[in-house]
Structure 1
Amino acid sequence: MSNNILKLVGSKIRDLRKEKGLSQEQLGEIAGFHFSYIGGIERAEKNISLLNLAKIADALDTEIYELFSYTRLIKVSDHTGSKEDEINKILELLSSRNMNDIRKARLIIKEVFKQD
């Protein structure tokens, strides 16, 4: 079983925590967890329960669904890694932007490649 979901959610929690200017210790204190547990979640070492995920979302002052608002890693058929890595780098850049910026990026890409 792949642990991509753990990596994606952990990464999203880390991103939101940093956006709020919180350390792992501060987030843990607000949510009621030890900082090492927060670190384990962010590093995809812990399989977090939904109840604990809700506590972390509350501590981050965000809705729980936001913790799942990430751009899914794309599996590319050639599995060489290089194409997949480049696509994921682009998606990572876009995932932190607002919808207006994402639409602009899509229009730029369409123009560059003359796509509909």
Structure 2
Amino acid sequence: MANDILKLIGLRIRELRKESGLSQEQLGEIVGFHYTYIGAIERAEKNISILNLEKIASALKVGVYELFVYARQKHKQKDKSKDIDKILELLHSLSTDDVKKAKNILSEMFS
């Protein structure tokens, strides 16, 4: 169980680092850590301190809380966005009257 949180945080750090276009060595230089330490964190081989989490978050230009927003939540958001896009595509293909009907149905269902 404890190792699971290390894996999730390590994966999240790797994800944010790559999104920032940084290598492990570059991130390490910014934060003042050796790149092997960054790699060990990403592979869940090191139990990182809160102070070091803050340094990494700062270097990645995110809040510390962002390190705890795991991939599962991110994928759920992507799925939701895809569903909304599909709904919008469908609505755009409908006549004006049918769009109004759909609006009324959704209003009744979720109000």
TM-score band by shorter chain is: 0.5 to 0.7
Q: Deviations over 1:81-107 (max 9, x none)?
A: xxxxxxxxxx4xx6268x4x4434466
Aligned to 2:89: none
Dislocated runs of 4+, deviation >3 Å: 104-108
Give distance in 2, aligned partners of 1:25 and 1:13. Answer: 14
- Within the candidate set 74, 81, 87, 1:95 is matched to 74
Q: Which residue of 1 aligns with 2:67?
A: 67
Percent identity of the aligned residues? 60
Query: Superposed, which structure 2 residues align to 1:37-56 within 5 Å?
Result: 37-56=37-56
RMSD: 2.4
5+ long unaligned stretches in structure 2: 87-111
Identify, as 1 or 2, the structure richer in helix. 2
Question: Higher RCO, 1 or 2 (CA under 8 Å, sep at least 6)?
Answer: 2
**Deviation of the 1:2 alpha carbon:** 3.6
**Superimposed CA distance per residue, residues 38-74 of structure 1 (whole angstroms, 9 cap, x where no aligned partner):** 0000000000000000000001011000000014xxx
Higher CA-based Rg: 2
Consecutive unaligned residues of structure 1, counting only runs of 5 or more, are 72-90, 109-116
- Separation in 1 of the partners of 2:66 and 2:49? 16
Residue type of the partner of 2:69? S
Letter in 1 for 2:80: R
Shift, 1:30, TM fit: 0.3
Instruction: Give the TM-score of the pair, scaled to structure 2.
Output: 0.68
